[in-house]
């Protein structure tokens, strides 16, 4: 039931955020001005988020990555030429209890991969809630697929694990997940180890899908950058569905993270 509240929570949060634009600290505005245009900054402050989607175009590079080490590291990770598909989102979330930076808290939540199990989202095509991840957990290695505990308290600033996830779009697959953190940000970038299938078609070859989430703590606010890049191999008739699937994932994972953060869940 708690997972079903995500759309309502996000709607309320965006409404409250829009009413509080005038109280955004100068330090936050300066950070936004360092990498966004004036128009983008206005839109972000008004709506609380920016979306950008690129399909089958040259120079499909990220444009919304904050100028901090972790999001920049993830943005620069793709080395396979221009991806066929790029989906980028930037969120600015005002904390309910702000003022103090706590990147360790962000890391604990980001490391809690198993907490994604049962995460639901609203399907606009089916007009109902659906489960995004039936399974989500860290495994010892891709061969045995033995489940192990989340690295919640791992203090390393840069380490990698294997993650098994089962979702309604691509089924069960294994991903390589790299966690990074520093004094400002924490996040992860995942790459598919398996080929992803959509229906009877092979949709994405191994190593051709990257998804990253980078959360930067600005004190009173969180700046969340989510980036998906992929090379599709599905027939063109399915491209829009696959793109919508990635967009849904980004929105659902963002909603999950914010809920975990504001509820102060200690995994």
CATH number of the domain bearing residue 104: 3.30.530.20
Q: Is the pLDDT of residue 15 over 60?
A: no
Give the span between the Cα atoms of 146 and 139, in whole angstroms: 5
What is the average per-residue pLDDT within 38-56?
94
| Res 56: pLDDT | 81
CA distances from 114 to 102, 136, 154, 186, 234 (A): 22, 5, 15, 18, 29
CB 133 within 8 A of CB 119: yes
Give the span between the Cα atoms of 223 and 187, in whole angstroms: 12
Q: Is the pLDDT of residue 267 over 90?
A: no
Task: Say if 267 falls within a structural domain.
Answer: no
CA distances from 115 to 134, 252, 262, 267 (A): 11, 13, 15, 8
Q: Is the pLDDT of residue 122 over 90?
A: no
Q: Is the pLDDT of residue 20 over 90?
A: no
Structural domain that includes position 202: 2-262
What pTM did the predictor assign? 0.88
Q: Is the pLDDT of residue 241 over 80?
A: no
Task: Say if 82 falls within a structural domain.
Answer: yes
CB 82 within 8 A of CB 54: no
The separation between the first and the last C-alpha atoms of the chain, rounded to the nearest angstrom, is: 19
Least confident of 11-15, 171-175, 193-197, 260-264: 11-15
Q: Place 219 in a pLDDT band, splitting at 50, 70 and 90.
A: very high
Phi then psi for 240, rounded to 5 degrees?
A: -65, -40
| Residue 67: Cβ-neighbour burial (10 angstroms; 0-12, 13-18, 19+) | exposed
Task: Say if 83 falls within a structural domain.
Answer: yes
The residue with tokens 């694990």 is 161
Least confident of 11-25, 156-170, 193-207, 223-237: 11-25
| Res 264: pLDDT | 67
**How many structural domains compose the chain?**
1
The more confident residue out of 245 and 145 is 145
């Amino acid at each position: 039931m708690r997972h079903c509240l995500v759309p309502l929570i996000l709607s309320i949060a965006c409404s409250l955020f829009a009413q509080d634009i005038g109280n955004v600290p100068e330090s936050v505005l300066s950070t936004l001005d360092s990498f966004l245009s004036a128009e983008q900054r206005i839109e972000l402050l008004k709506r609380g988020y920016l979306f950008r989607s690129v399909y089958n175009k040259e120079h499909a590079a990220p444009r919304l990555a904050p100028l901090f080490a972790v999001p920049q590291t993830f943005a620069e990770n793709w080395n396979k030429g221009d991806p066929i598909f790029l989906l980028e989102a930037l969120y600015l979330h005002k904390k309910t209890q702000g003022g103090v930076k706590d990147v360790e808290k962000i890391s604990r939540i980001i490391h809690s991969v198993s907490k994604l199990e049962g995460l639901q989202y609203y399907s606009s095509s089916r007009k109902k809630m659906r489960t995004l991840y039936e399974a989500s957990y860290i495994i010892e290695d891709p061969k045995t697929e033995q489940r192990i505990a989340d690295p919640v308290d791992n203090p390393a600033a840069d380490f990698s694990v294997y993650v098994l996830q089962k979702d309604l779009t691509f089924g069960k697959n294994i991903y390589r997940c790299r966690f990074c953190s520093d004094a400002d940000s924490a996040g992860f970038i995942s790459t598919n180890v398996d080929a992803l299938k959509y229906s009877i078609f092979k949709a994405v070859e191994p190593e051709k899908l990257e998804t990253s989430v980078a959360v930067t703590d600005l004190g009173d606010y969180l700046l969340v950058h989510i980036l998906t890049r992929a090379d599709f191999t599905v027939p063109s008739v399915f491209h829009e569905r696959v793109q919508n699937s990635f967009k849904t994932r980004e929105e659902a994972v963002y909603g999950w993270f914010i809920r975990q953060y504001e509820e102060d869940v200690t995994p």
